[in-house]
């Protein structure tokens, strides 16, 4: 798929009228209004509705994702829940993938039932079979591609086609594709969601979420849910997300190149059973990824072969460049064991894998140094 042309840098003419190239960060709850505004409108605003930096970030996200409307949220999880709550109400049914980000799955299975919405999981590789899971009251399908921790790629156009035939809304968590490497709205998805916390902000120092749409009627629903739940993004985090967007393309290319190099190195190691990176030709969903994505990044999974007793402790303790911690998309390399976080449908492939599952995020360090770090981890693990 062709990479979108983004115009995140404003023209000189657009900047005229202010003296800085970037928007001001207005830290404000109160926004003053005149007597005329107070008595006769237009409706006075308030800091929770966002100010200059928010409007610029929304405009940039629309351009990035090919949307006509964007709504910001405090973090990626809140953007997911905002998108979902804008498509279902009490009495409805929602489908979400077995590989959804854990807290999104928890929202679907704990919060939505408490709000009168029924949910069920589907196998992310279900494709056209999704239609068999439709119920009379199915109103929305949540997608995440590739899936969290296990990196399955959905056949999005096929799922979208089945959904459209029944008037069902589709939502995609597009954080991995970051808008640059995957454009769900162009594939017919109604709502694209991003955790701006990851590649958009890019430095592990801010939170942010955004929901983008081009579907008529969805902007009003997103606005209403945001207003009712008081959803907003702090001006400082909005500024950091907008700043990150300026270098997204350059950083993502570097993460992609390093991610591929480390993936290929890992795939050739005896300690590794498989590398879960859809950009590798050996990945079962590589063809779907090639069709629907224009690039990859530094986030992927690794299934190890069986590890000797105490081997995982020795492996993690031997690493110096890879730190352990949640999140991804920043400048730094991270590694986490995933078995503790995996919640999957009974009988799913995860029951039959060779050894432990790890998730790696390849940062902007030198590939040779990262590979040497992992090699010393494997040496400590196996005692060789
Ligand atoms: C795929 C995906 N979606 C959403 C989120 C949530 O983002 P945040 O941490 O900003 O709430 C994450 C966080 O790791 C994620 O990996």
Please write the tens of the pLDDT for every residue from 217-265: 999 999 999 999 999 999 999 999 999 999 999 999 999 999 999 999 9
Q: Is 384 among the residues known to form the active site? A: no
Rounded to whole angstroms, the Cα distance separating 27 from 147 reads 36
Q: Is 198 among the residues known to form the active site? A: yes
Q: Which residues line ligand 1 (CB under 6 A)?
A: 75-77, 80, 101, 144, 148, 173, 175, 195, 197, 207, 209, 327
**Sign of the four-CA dihedral 330, 336, 340, 346:** positive
Could you give all domains of the chain from N- to C-terminal order, each with its CATH number?
Answer: 12-246 (3.40.640.10), 248-382 (3.90.1150.10)
Q: Which atom of ligand 1 is nearest to the CA of 78?
A: 11
The residues near 249 (Cβ < 8 Å, ≥ 6 apart) are: 6, 180
Q: Whose CA is nearest to atom 13 of ligand 1?
A: 327
**Sign of the four-CA dihedral 241, 244, 248, 252:** negative
Catalytic residue among 69, 92, 98, 101: 101
Q: Which atom of ligand 1 is nearest to the CA of 327?
A: 14
Q: Tell me the mean pLDDT in the region 32-48.
A: 91
Contact 89, 117 (CB under 8 A): yes
* pLDDT the model gives residue 384: 82
Q: Is 101 among the residues known to form the active site? A: yes
Residue 101 CA to ligand 1 center (angstroms) comes to: 7
Q: Is 118 among the residues known to form the active site? A: no
Position 15 pLDDT exceeds 90: no
Structure confidence at residue 2 as a pLDDT band (50, 70, 90): very low
Catalytic residue among 155, 173, 190, 285: 173
């Amino acid at each position: 798929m062709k990479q979108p042309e983004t115009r995140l840098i404003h023209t000189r003419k657009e900047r005229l009228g202010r003296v800085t190239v970037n928007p001001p960060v207005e830290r404000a709850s109160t926004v003053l209004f005149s007597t005329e505004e107070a008595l006769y409108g237009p409706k006075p605003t308030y800091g929770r509705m966002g100010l200059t930096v928010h409007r610029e970030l929304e405009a940039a996200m629309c351009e990035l994702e090919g949307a006509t409307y964007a709504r910001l949220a405090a973090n990626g999880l809140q953007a997911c829940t905002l998108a979902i709550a804008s498509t279902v109400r009490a009495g409805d049914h929602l489908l979400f993938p077995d590989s959804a980000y854990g807290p999104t799955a928890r929202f679907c299975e704990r919060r939505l039932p408490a709000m009168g919405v029924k949910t069920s999981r589907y196998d992310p590789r279900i494709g056209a079979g999704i239609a068999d899971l439709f119920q009379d009251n199915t109103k929305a399908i949540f997608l995440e591609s590739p899936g969290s921790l296990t990196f399955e790629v959905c056949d999005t156009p096929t799922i979208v086609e089945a959904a459209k035939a029944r008037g069902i809304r589709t939502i995609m968590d597009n954080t991995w594709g970051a808008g640059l490497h995957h454009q769900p709205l162009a594939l017919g998805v109604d709502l694209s969601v991003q955790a701006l916390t990851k590649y958009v902000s890019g430095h592990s120092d801010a939170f942010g979420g955004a929901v983008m749409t081009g579907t008529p009627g969805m902007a009003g629903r997103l606005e209403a849910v945001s207003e009712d739940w008081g959803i907003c993004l702090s001006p400082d985090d909005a500024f950091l997300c907008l700043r990150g967007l300026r270098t997204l393309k350059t950083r993502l290319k570097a993460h992609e190149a390093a991610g591929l190099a480390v993936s290929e190195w890992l795939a050739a190691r005896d300690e590794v059973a498989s590398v879960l990176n859809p950009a590798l030709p050996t990945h079962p969903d590589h063809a779907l990824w090639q069709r629907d994505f224009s690039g990859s990044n530094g986030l992927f999974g690794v299934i190890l072969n069986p590890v000797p007793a105490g081997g995982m402790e020795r492996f993690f303790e031997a690493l110096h460049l890879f730190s352990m911690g949640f999140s991804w998309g920043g400048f730094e390399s991270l590694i986490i064991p995933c078995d503790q976080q995996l919640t999957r449908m009974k009988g799913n492939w995860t029951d039959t894998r060779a050894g432990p599952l790890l998730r790696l995020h390849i940062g902007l360090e030198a590939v040779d140094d990262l590979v040497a770090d992992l090699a010393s981890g494997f040496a400590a693990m196996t005692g060789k």
